[in-house]
Amino acid sequence: MLPLSKVKLKGPWTIRRCTTIQWMDQILDTSVSGAELLFLFNGRGLVLGFDFGKKSADFEYLLDDGEWVKIRWDCPDWCGNYGWYRVLYIGDDFDNIEHKFELKVINSSRGTNFRLAMIGVVL
């Protein structure tokens, strides 16, 4: 796990206590479209965990010098405003070197809330 305190933030972000997912202590939280984050990690893979809900924003990410990838989550009717722990598998077949990960919050028809709960690095 990469500590959320190691993430470089651009725009208004807050590290806050997570009250909707029992096993997560903190989340990185913003409600501003265009807010960005960046972190470096050493490893051969990456997994992200989110506190997701009906009001969650979409986002796009860039790994190293690749292309931007847009993530537009589906949102079933049964989903509440928060509290659905969703995982995004980025990959586990990278070269085991330092990598750069960038993420930008983008507009969603659902809302603008973005809550990153976990950064998992595969060694």
The single-letter code of the amino acid at 67 is E
- Domain coordinates in residue numbering, the chain: 4-122
Q: Measuring CA to CA, which residue among 23, 35, 91, 28 is closest to residue 59? A: 35
List pLDDT tens digits, range 24-80. 789 999 999 999 999 999 999 999 999 999 999 999 999 999 999 999 988 888 988
pLDDT for the residue 56: 92
pLDDT for the residue 41: 97
- pLDDT-derived band at 101, boundaries 50, 70, 90: very high
Name which residue leads in pLDDT, 18 or 53: 53
CA distance 53 to 62: 23
Distance from the first to the final alpha carbon of the chain: 10
Domain 4-122 in CATH 2.60.120.260? The answer is yes
- pLDDT-derived band at 12, boundaries 50, 70, 90: very high
Which one-letter DSSP state was computed for residue 56? B
pTM: 0.92
Q: Are 115 and 58 in contact (CB under 8 A)?
A: no
- pLDDT-derived band at 110, boundaries 50, 70, 90: confident
Share of the chain above pLDDT 70, in %: 100
pLDDT for the residue 20: 77
